[in-house]
Amino acid sequence: MKRHIIIFVALLLMFLPLTVKAQEYYAANMNPESSGPVSTIYLMPNVYPAVIQEGDTIACMWLGDFIKYSPLTFRSTKDQTAYSRLIRDVKRTLPYAKEIAGIITETYEYMETLPDDKARQNHLNKMEKYLMDAYTPKMKKLTRAQGHLLMKLVDRETNSSSYHIIDAFMGSFKAWTYNLFAGLFGNSLKVRYNPYGEDRVTERVCVLVEQGAV
């Protein structure tokens, strides 16, 4: 089974020094002699556009959405342990799911530039070999539960089940064969991700991991 599983914000408060002298030091990389507006501020390790308003140098940056969840109350130590295990598993599999989603997008966009079905099939064959070589060693290190979670997270990142992805790129026969093989290990490539139902706790953990909160 493992061989066939094809793969904010933590708001950083950048405390500006309280004195104008220190602010000029950061902006001096751009324009050390000028007291007028500057276009860049260096708050290491990042660089931001900046403006000066009433003597204060203000960095301009985009902040993504931040989701705040209420604390969880566990009914038992077993439930708390299961939640901790879910955090561990999401941290391990979510990066793979995002990698796979990126590969799928890149593959689809590249295939759109190919002249005919033969060229597209040749590219798919090469991609299949690459994925097997690159990800089989990684997938072998996943537990059965992590493999099942990975398939759901691929759906989360692509809005498509693993079965549908294989069907779309490699054909119905391979999708059926891979799903049959997965069934021997108690899994299904047709499994879907439901963030508002049975996977709502998983979605909570995914968001917290993405925000760097856990």
The two structure tokens encoding residue 87:
């955090």
| Nearest alpha carbon to residue 37 among 12, 17, 55, 18 | 55
Residue 136 phi/psi, 5° resolution?
-60, -45
pTM: 0.65
pLDDT digits (tens, 9 = 90+) for 105-115: 888 888 888 88
**Do 149 and 202 touch, CB atoms closer than 8 A?**
yes
Residue 143 phi/psi, 5° resolution?
-80, 170
H or E element, residue 170? helix 162-170
| Alpha helix (H) residue ranges in 6-76 | 20-27
- 51-59 — which CB contacts under 8 Å span 24+ positions? 52/27, 55/20, 55/23, 56/16, 56/20, 56/23, 57/16, 57/23, 57/24, 57/26, 57/27, 59/14, 59/16
The residues pairing with 5 across neighbouring beta strands, listed in sequence order, are: none
- AA identity, residue 56: D
| pLDDT tens sequence for the chain (214 residues) | 444 433 322 222 233 233 333 333 333 334 444 444 445 655 556 677 777 788 787 877 777 777 888 889 999 999 999 999 999 999 999 999 999 888 888 888 888 888 888 888 888 888 878 888 888 888 888 898 998 898 889 889 888 877 777 777 667 766 666 666 566 555 677 788 999 999 999 999 999 999 888 9
Distance, CA of 56 to CA of 64 (rounded, Å): 24
What is the model's pLDDT at position 158? 86
